[in-house]
Amino acid sequence: MKPLIKTKKKMSALNSLSQASTFGVWTVQSDPEVQQSIPSKELMKFYFQESGEYMQGICRFEPSYGFLMPLFNSLVRLGTKSWLVVNYSQDEKSFYFLFPKDEVDNVDKLLNSIHELLDKELQFKSSLNQLITNKKRFLAEQALLSASLGIKARS
């Protein structure tokens, strides 16, 4: 088995399948705001191995990113071809993959495009959270200023 792979740049989900198996980690590539609000930079761990003429795999989200599972599920099924079987286990909170070995490049492209979309989603959520925080701070400061000036706040 290959050692754990971590990267800050674009990572292949199926890194070097010339080996009998591969194991890796997708990391968050978002801005520091996301990394401060969610301590773990590991987004998802995955493992793929050969099984005859097929590749089978398992993917699990890190607990702090579990809220992305429904989006991942939708995206992976949106791009699913007839040769790609994807199952989700609610009990194990894991995705299981099965596909022919000759489709490795296509699965790799699909999973990497999904990884990029998940990272963009995290960036969006971070920006939205910052916007909401700033708006609340502004309204609180405005209320204090109005109160100190004796101006009645508008509803």
Kindly report, residue by residue over 99-129, the tens digit of the pLDDT.
999 998 888 888 888 888 888 898 898 899 9
With contact defined as beta carbons under 8 Å apart, do 59 and 98 qualify? no
Residue at 70 is within a domain:
yes
Report pLDDT digits (tens) over 67-76: 999 999 999 8
User: What are the phi and psi torsion angles at 74 (to 5°)?
Assistant: -65, -45
Q: Which domain holds residue 37?
A: 21-149
Residue 141, token pair as written in the block: 């400061």
Residue at 116 is within a domain:
yes
With contact defined as beta carbons under 8 Å apart, do 106 and 81 qualify? yes
Q: Look at 81 and 103; give whichever has higher pLDDT.
A: 103
Residue at 129 is within a domain:
yes
H or E segment and range at residue 113: helix 104-149
User: What are the phi and psi torsion angles at 95 (to 5°)?
Assistant: -105, 135
Residue at 154 is within a domain:
no
Q: Total domain count for the chain? A: 1
Residue at 14 is within a domain:
no
pTM score: 0.69
Q: Strand order of the sheet with strand 94-100?
A: 21-27, 42-51, 54-61, 94-100, 85-89
Highest mean pLDDT among 4-13, 40-49, 83-92: 83-92
pLDDT of 21 > 70? The answer is no
Gap between the Cα atoms of 138 and 37, Å rounded: 21
CATH number of the domain enclosing 125: 3.30.1460
